[in-house]
Amino acid sequence: MSQPNIDQLCINTIRTLSIDAVQQANSGHPGAPMGLAPVVYSLWQSFLRYDPADPLWPNRDRFVLSAGHASMLLYSTLHLAGVRAVNKNGEVQKELSVPMDEIKRFRQLGSRTPGHPESHITTGVETTTGPLGQGIANSVGMAIASKWLAANFNQPGFDLFNFRVYSVCGDGDLMEGVGGEAASLAGHLALSNLCWIYDNNRVTLDGPASWSFSEDMMTRFVGYGWNVTRVADANDLVQLSRAYKTFLNTTDKPTLIVVDSHIGYGSPHKQDSYEAHGEPLGEEEVKLVKRNYGWPEDAKFLVPDGVYQQFQNGVGARGNEERTKWNALFAEYAKKFPELAARLSKMQRRELPDGWNKNLPNFPADPKGMATRESSGKVLNALAQNIPWLVGGSADLAKSNKTNLVFEGAGDFFTNEYKGRNIHFGVREHGMGAAANGLTLTGLRGFSATFFNFSDYMRASMRLAALMEIPVLFIFTHDSIGVGEDGPTHQPVEQLAAFRAMPNMLVFRPGDANEVTESYKVAIQHTHGPSTLVFSRQPMPTIDRTKYAPASGVARGAYVLADADGGKPEVILMGTGTELQHCVAAYEKLKAEGIKARVVSMPCWEIFDEQDAAYKESVLPAGVTARVSIEMAATLGWDRYVGAKGKIIGMRSFGASAPLKDLLPKFGFGPDFVVIAAKQLLGK
């Protein structure tokens, strides 16, 4: 066989490294890396502005592999391009992010090459993609961030931000609803810096794509307002190059490149084989494939001479030159605009600006009080004024969620007006959650908002935020059956328990306006995971903090709000959110009857569970087994605080459509129910 040219040699190296890793792991998908190797090689080698020696360079182009099952395609590319590892402190290391040893440990315990790419494990992986559609939806948030950064930081003569976002996706990504939401939003916002590369291989895991999928993808994307171009053969580097240039020259809309590819194998019977798409080829087939590529059949994990050098001369040299120029530009910028430069440095390090907590509202005691969605709106606006890169929006409910940023200069993020802080996501909860992840991955502090019941549409995005350890703020209002007349379709019941079950997610349900302020303070300082903030539509009293304990106790997750004389209670009353007032009212009734009660406010279980044993004992002493909890939500989880002898007042069914005053007695909520439960426990 004739010796392939250097480009073909590099492409085949990506392919064979992927094949060998999948074969050694005896697990994974070799088909997509084989079909897409030329597509990714052409992009990285000739177009992607990316410096492997500094994978955190702020103006780098972002590459997102939304088809995460093709992870070996990315790992092989990161390895050959020489992308450096970055440690937990954000310092670039000498070692590679994906050394050869890690490729050999594909899909093994503790490796940097898990089955689907994970951004917090592997430098060079911009976002964690696994569930299909997530990567492309994250890429929309990244593209929004690029436009926002340009509008807010670029100055005449200082084009600091203009990075582009590329995402490789497959049929699965575009079948998933979240992909459609994201594409629709990107087209509407005319995100000309966004390019999706669609691997049109006509294959799904079950069989031919035609079994389940027959829409005209190009027409669909034209309808979304995208520019659409096609490459008839994934192996044609000239056509690929032309398509990427088409994207670079398109200034008024996002671009979809449809690439026709075949999942290529060595032997004819495996061509477009559905089985092999999602499983290792087997030793015999591997040899046939390698023979087809002109490769030594028995060589494993081979990188031929000249391949590393070719990547160094391509993406390496180009990226280094671009970054060096950018660093020089930034040094000049920092002299002229020191405040903006300092702001950017803080954003990159996930630090908060000095004075981030100034003028946060402190709410006076008020028996009528306000809904926590109202106090949330006030606190969010105060924080956003202090933190200029706090950016986000609502799924068409900003007025209801009270998440409109209304201070001078906040502005709206509209098509071709990219400076504003209020993003209008439309009725696209799932796309919104994924875009908020993309914003946050790019250094902004992203927030999203909707009714708590519709968190169900966002769960996959929220779960990935927790997995990625990124500090997104997920804001929810209308937190219980207190929604009343809207009925059970809009009344969340099981959602609190579900998010409390999610690892690395802080869930806050504050019990009055001042607990709202304290919850936001904790959430905004939390940098290694997302926070879910859950607020009410109906008002609740603002607790008199001269009479009861200060709301600063929120910082420890749970605290003693009101105590028995001498600190020796007979019964403990626990609550969150709108039900905390029932505990306080019950406490006063019991006190009047000579019964010693303690009220414990529990706005964030996750933080309380992390406290030391002494603090937990000081709040919930083991000797007091008479305990009552009240929460207008599913009871799951409360037993760990209430204990075997306690009583849990909560929801054991869906709600109902009726005014709140009728719902409360119907489902057993109110001070009297707490008093009855406490007395029963005490045998009184």
* CA gap 352, 569 in Å, rounded: 41
Q: State how far the alpha carbon of 618 is from the alpha carbons of 608, 612, 625, 627, in Å.
A: 12, 10, 14, 15
* CA gap 424, 431 in Å, rounded: 12
Active site residue 429: yes
Q: Is the dihedral of CA 660, 662, 666, 669 positive or negative?
A: positive
Q: Is the dihedral of CA 657, 659, 665, 667 positive or negative?
A: positive
Type and span of the H or E element at 615: helix 613-619
Q: Is there a contact between 419 and 411 (Cβ–Cβ < 8 Å)?
A: yes
Collapse the DSSP code of 110 into the 3-class scheme (helix H, G, I; strand E, B; otherwise coil) and give the result: coil
For the chain, percent helix, then strand, then coil, each to nearest 5? 45, 15, 40
* CA gap 369, 584 in Å, rounded: 14
- The two three-digit tokens of residue 32, written as one number: 């997509």
Collapse the DSSP code of 149 into the 3-class scheme (helix H, G, I; strand E, B; otherwise coil) and give the result: helix
> Do the strands 84-86 and 92-96 form a parallel or antiparallel pair, or are they unpaired?
antiparallel
* CA gap 161, 522 in Å, rounded: 31
Neighbouring CB atoms inside 10 A of 503's CB total 9
* CA gap 1, 599 in Å, rounded: 81
Name the phi and psi angles at 140, rounded to 5.
Answer: -65, -40
Q: Minimal CA–CA distance to 50: which of 131, 159, 138, 123?
A: 123
Q: Is there a contact between 199 and 38 (Cβ–Cβ < 8 Å)?
A: no
Tokens 């190009």 map to which residue?
218
Q: Out of 102, 126, 285, 429, pick the active-site residue.
A: 429
Type and span of the H or E element at 626: none
The DSSP 8-state label assigned to residue 553 in this structure reads: G
Segment 266-272 long-range contacts (CB within 8 Å, at least 24 positions apart)? 266/290, 266/291, 266/292, 272/201, 272/202, 272/203
Catalytic residues: 429
